[in-house]
Amino acid sequence: MSDADWQRAKELLGSVYGFDSFRPGQAEILQAALAGQDILALMPTGSGKSLCYQLPALVRKGLTIVVSPLIALMRDQVAQLRDNGVAAAAFNSSNSSAEDSAIAAQIRARQLRLLYIAPERLVRADTQALLREGGADVLAIDEAHCVSQWGHDFRPEYRNLREWGEMIGISQTIAVTATADPPTRADIAARLFSRPPRQFLHSFDRPNLRLAMQRRHAGIGQIARKMAEFKGESGIVYCASRRGVDSLATQLRALGHWALPYHAGLESHVRTANQDEFLQNDGVVMVATIAFGMGIDKPDVRYVCHANLPASVEAYYQEIGRAGRDGLPADTLTLYNQADIQFRQRQIQESDAPVARRQIEARKLDALVALCETPRCRRQTLLAAFGEASQPCGNCDICEGGFAMFNGRLLARKAMSALLRTQGRFHPRHLANVLTGTVSEAIRRHGHDLLPTFGVGKELSTQDWARIYAQLQAAGLIVQDVESGDGWALSALGTSVLREETELELRALEPSANKRDGKAARAILEALQDGASPVAMGDVAVPMTISGARLTIVQAQLLAALKACRGEIARQQKIPAYVIFHDRTLIEMAVRAPQNVAEFAKVHGVGEAKVKAYAARFLAIIAAHAA
């Protein structure tokens, strides 16, 4: 990489994207990319992965091919690039023949900097010939975990990308993803690269996301209470089934929410219309199966709820990662119950997958249940599942005191004694039967009804003992022996607790009242939106919190006007509202209230193309509001 290339990259960061500095981790990846190295980058959602292949494409000559799994993602990223003044296009099945012909002409004339393409299109010989003619030399692969059969979004068509790239004449490959455990990372490196890539592994932490999980007891009520905290803002609610999606969306609409369904059973045009409504407007709630989400880059999603247990820790991380991509505070809530856990257990047991695969899926389910039942900081437990150590976060329901704690050393000693007396060869569900004295066929067959620990835990139900085991796993007292498949063992900490050398606090099996309210400021804003006079509320300098920003009522009014303008432009251009400006940019406008073009250009996220396109319109709103 030359000094001139790096200087040019920093200039383009400001002039095209409107940013004055790189986000953590971006600079070192960009330097490697500009040096022509193959790259595998794992960066958390919202950390700016796309910039790591977009910016080098603007610095250098040649065409960068971006492989993306979803048409919606291609469409939105191309719209953002074009709005920033970048020559970009997309080849996918939604194009008309005239659009494809126009894009092909641009490729031959070498007018494009980035071309987004579906992997199914890349396999065609005529496409490969066209890309060779157009000087394609860099292959960027978004959502790279799709290449791995061990990942949660496996796409078979991703597995031939390396060969197709070689046919085109690609000289550099850049693969990015937000979720990949060690086996998945190894699979990605082996499948996508002809030489070992330089790997960048950044923290999986998303500190702006508040994490919370609850046992489901009044699903619609629990979700509705969460949505009430974010009235007028965008959110996603995931359900396990199509029927659940339809039912919940109907109930939420009856409560006055702008809730739309999304699942594979809907007509294609209905799914597309609902998705566009969600992307182009503020305040829409998408109620969906997991068919919705990957590649949805809407930055101002303020909350993600799960009405049912997710499929795995990786899936959970990916799905909650759709909230707060703008870096502003966002909320998550996951509901689950014993029926969800048992359903996943049956799915795994009845699967036609090989035994080794079923064992992996069972371990992943155990890790997910441990996250649900953890007695320690939820973020610590989540990051530990990805092999990352961390301190208590202060931004989850556990840290906030949402659950009462008790001295759990006696229960832990009983649980671990049962594990040891069965040689660690049995799942906690079986051990729960041992502790409660429940005689099952398996208990009799193995003679476990004759153990000293048989029936010593009758004070709890089998379900409660299963939850205790999940807490012990999350707290690191018991660990799974990957080598033996389903085996369990005590850790050093577990042994210390068993010997009564260390105290242990466990979580009460039912939550206490959560100490977090934080609704007063929102009540003021809602009153404003309902037409109340600022004078009636007292001093207009009363601070309130909107998307994590402290605003006065006057600033909040201006922000509402700026959002309305953004929405009107988005509808006119038929593009997502965030393509024009992110919420963070509008909040900064509301706070700084720029008075002229020069001041407007200094706002975060305002590049040269956006100054030309939008300065006059937004400055007029700011001036009118001041008057």
- For the stretch 461-485, pLDDT in tens is 999 999 999 999 999 999 987 665 5
For 500, other C-beta atoms within 10 Å of its C-beta total 10
The sign of the dihedral angle between the CA atoms of 176, 180, 183, 184 is negative
pLDDT of residue 203: 83
475-483's contacts with Cβ under 8 Å and 24+ in sequence apart are 475/374, 475/375, 475/376, 475/504, 475/506, 476/384, 477/412, 477/416, 477/504, 478/416, 478/419, 480/363, 480/366, 481/424, 482/363
Strands 330-336 and 209-210, by their bridges, are parallel
Backbone angles phi, psi at 146, to 5 degrees: -65, -15
The domain locations on the chain are 3-201, 209-336+374-385, 405-507, 520-626
Q: Which two tokens stand for residue 567?
A: 């929405």
Give CA torsion, residues 614, 616, 621, 622, to 10 deg.
Answer: 100
- CATH number for 520-626 (one of 3.40.50.720, 1.10.150.80, 3.40.50.300, 1.10.10.10): it is 1.10.150.80
pLDDT of residue 2: 83
pLDDT of residue 43: 86
Residues 325/299, Cβ–Cβ less than 8 Å: yes
Q: Which two tokens stand for residue 11?
A: 């200039």
pLDDT of 520 higher than 80: no
Same fold: 3-201 with 209-336+374-385 = yes
How does residue 121 score in pLDDT terms, banded at 50, 70 and 90?
Answer: confident
This prediction's pTM: 0.77
pLDDT of residue 523: 39
Share of the chain above pLDDT 90, in %: 54
Helix (H, G, I), strand (E, B) or coil at 434: helix
Which helix or strand (DSSP H or E) is residue 39 part of? strand 39-42
pLDDT of 522 higher than 70: no
pLDDT of 534 higher than 70: no
pLDDT of 575 higher than 70: yes
Alpha-carbon distance of 290 to 242, in angstroms, equals 10
User: What amino acid occupies position 21?
Assistant: S
Alpha-carbon distance of 622 to 604, in angstroms, equals 16
Strands 39-42 and 172-177, by their bridges, are parallel
If we measure between CA atoms, which residue out of 295, 293, 286, 305 comes closest to residue 245? 286
Strands 549-551 and 88-91, by their bridges, are unpaired
DSSP of 279-334: HHSSS-EEEE-TTS-TT---TTEEEEEESS--S-HHHHHHHHTTS-TTSS-EEEEE
Which helix or strand (DSSP H or E) is residue 83 part of? helix 71-83
pLDDT of residue 382: 94
Which residues fall within 8 angstroms of residue 447, CB to CB, at 6 or more apart? Answer: none
What single-letter DSSP state applies at residue 157?
A: G
Residues 187/245, Cβ–Cβ less than 8 Å: no
DSSP of 185-199: HHHHHHHH-SSPPEE
pLDDT of 72 higher than 80: no
Q: Which two tokens stand for residue 324?
A: 């707060």
Q: Which CATH architecture has domain 405-507?
A: Orthogonal Bundle (1.10)
CATH of domain 3-201: 3.40.50.300
Alpha-carbon distance of 438 to 434, in angstroms, equals 6
- Please compute the mean of the pLDDT values over residues 526-535 and round it to a whole number: 36
Q: Which two tokens stand for residue 54?
A: 């977009």
Alpha-carbon distance of 314 to 386, in angstroms, equals 9
pLDDT digit string, tens, across residues 127-174: 999 999 999 999 999 888 888 765 556 777 788 889 988 889 899 999
Alpha-carbon distance of 548 to 357, in angstroms, equals 42
Residues 178/43, Cβ–Cβ less than 8 Å: yes
pLDDT digit string, tens, across residues 331-344: 999 999 988 998 88
pLDDT digit string, tens, across residues 306-322: 999 998 898 899 899 89
Residues 176/73, Cβ–Cβ less than 8 Å: no
pLDDT of residue 577: 85
Which one is predicted more confidently, 515 or 579?
579
Residues 325/50, Cβ–Cβ less than 8 Å: no
Strands 505-507 and 405-407, by their bridges, are antiparallel
Lowest mean pLDDT segment, chosen from 349-358, 412-421, 426-435: 349-358
320, β-bridge pairs: none
Over the Cα atoms of the chain, what is R_g? Answer: 26
Residues 552/558, Cβ–Cβ less than 8 Å: no
If we measure between CA atoms, which residue out of 97, 618, 25, 45 comes closest to residue 322? 45
What's the mean per-residue pLDDT of the chain?
86
Q: Which residue has the tokens 């018991």?
A: 478
Share of the chain above pLDDT 70, in %: 92
If we measure between CA atoms, which residue out of 421, 502, 499, 508 comes closest to residue 460? 508
How does residue 537 score in pLDDT terms, banded at 50, 70 and 90?
Answer: very low
pLDDT of residue 204: 84
Which residues fall within 8 angstroms of residue 614, CB to CB, at 6 or more apart? Answer: 569, 580, 581
If we measure between CA atoms, which residue out of 152, 83, 93 comes closest to residue 121? 93
Alpha-carbon distance of 180 to 161, in angstroms, equals 18
How does residue 544 score in pLDDT terms, banded at 50, 70 and 90?
Answer: low
- Per DSSP, which regions of 134-277 are E strands? 136-141, 172-177, 198-201, 209-210, 213-215, 234-238, 259-262
- Please compute the mean of the pLDDT values over residues 586-597 and round it to a whole number: 93
Q: Which CATH architecture has domain 209-336+374-385?
A: 3-Layer(aba) Sandwich (3.40)
Q: Which stretches within 134-218 are classed as H helix?
A: 161-168, 182-192
pLDDT of 29 higher than 80: yes
pLDDT of residue 44: 79
